[in-house]
Amino acid sequence: MSAALGYQYACWGGLKHVNDSSQVGKMMAFLHSYLIPSSSNVLGMIVNYDVFGDQTMLWGLPRTERDGFWGSGSFSSRSNPPGGVPSGLKADLTVCKGGDGCDYESVQHAVNAAPEKSDKPFVIFIKSGVYEEKVRVPLGKRNVVFLGGWHRENCNYRVHECDAAGDQHLQLRHRW
């Protein structure tokens, strides 16, 4: 959701440089007065739900680093691992071109096989190859982790679009 909020803000920033029609002006007003604030509110609700679950009496304004949010993490009943990729992850599924010695030939098929609402990381290891596909990661597929040889190969991805259900669509062009 934070990526979607950043994307909306970037669109607004780009539009202000080409604001030469009433249609662009209306779109900028919509982004600035409705879409960006609504997305920000939803992001706050997601964070509250992640921290406090369905105990809505504990929900409040999002905390920031000024409030000690990045400090000990003791405010949450859930574990807060340090940033970065957790060590010791083992692949649940493997993706490779050609299908030899792996579970799937496309990243999307591996995502489709991931469990719904998982509380632990579901690791999809992507072997070296060029993958040109749009990958849809539904909201119900939680904790999906993509691993591959990022540090040795080229990896390009971008959010392609987000549909009305909130599912993110990624356009991948990987050389892993």
The pLDDT tens digits of the residues spanning 21-41 come to: 788 888 888 888 888 888 888
pLDDT digits over 86-105, tens only?
A: 677 889 999 988 878 899 99
What stretches of 16-82 show up as alpha helix (H) in DSSP? 22-30, 36-52
What pLDDT does residue 165 have? 46
User: Where do the domains of the chain lie?
Assistant: 1-80, 89-176
What pLDDT does residue 83 have? 57
